[in-house]
Amino acid sequence: MEKLSLEFYLRNDVLQVAKELLGKVLITNFNKKRTGGRIVEVEAYNGIIDKASHAYNDRRTKRTETIYAEGGAAYIYLCYGIHHLFNVVTNIKNVPHAILIRAVEPVFGIDIMMKRTNKKKGNVSLTRGPGNLSKALGLSTLYNEVSLTGDEIYIVSDGVVVSKNEIIATPRIGVDYAGKDALLPYRFIIKDNPFVSGK
DNA sequence: CTGACGATTCACT
DNA sequence: GTGAATCGTCAGC
């Protein structure tokens, strides 16, 4: 179980990093409650030239400041006043690239996740969808800008490799406002995985 | 200060 | 398939 290094996140190709995150295990460790899930669905947000990104056109504000941080940080924000969405910041400082984790497959701490979400065993929606997975893993805006090289939130590789023909690229979800950029194939999913969200 | 709205989810028809 | 929930952020006045 190798924790991903800072260098993994600092690379400049956000699409490549997004693809490599598939199959890795996202772990949270809050109040001695350890939960984790295998990443099966991600979306890349390509900085200031990407209309779907919060940092489009270099829109630097207090909220988006985290995306400009050095790679390897967590960007967590509130959506629709209800849902906390978890992103991984990539690239060097001042380059606002980020990857939204949209779904994971529960690996351990499942009883804790069911308690947090009030869901029953075997419910595939436990960690399916960005709002659900944040709730199950206990992620909230309190942890915005926490480093993924620390001990509270981190990502490990357990040796599982996702082969190229198991990865499917599709347009991103819920970004219709982004015009032409809404069509970009920046969403990556693991083929046939029941925890992938969307239709 | 005010108002519009969102990288969503769930309950209902 | 449709609509409500719900609040921080941001642009505009």
pLDDT of A17-48, one tens digit each? 999 999 999 999 999 999 999 999 999 999 99
Give the pLDDT confidence of A36-83 residue by residue, as tens digits: 999 999 999 999 999 999 999 999 999 999 999 999 999 999 999 999
With a CB cutoff of 8 Å and minimum separation 6, the contacts of A75 are A66, A67, A69, A86, A87, A88, A89, A98, A144, A145
Checking each nucleotide's C1' against the CA of A117, the nearest proves to be B9
| CA-based R_g, chain A, Å | 15
Nearest to A100 by CA among A88, A110, A109: A88
Q: A93 in helix, strand or coil?
A: coil
Measured from Cα to the C1' atom, the residue closest to B9 is A131
The pTM score is 0.96
- Give the mean pLDDT of chain A: 96
Q: In sequence order, what are the residues at sequence separation of 6 or more whose Cβ sits closer than 8 angstroms to the Cβ of residue A111?
A: none
Taking the C1' atom of C10, which residue's CA lies nearest? Answer: A61
Q: Strand pairing partners for A2?
A: A157
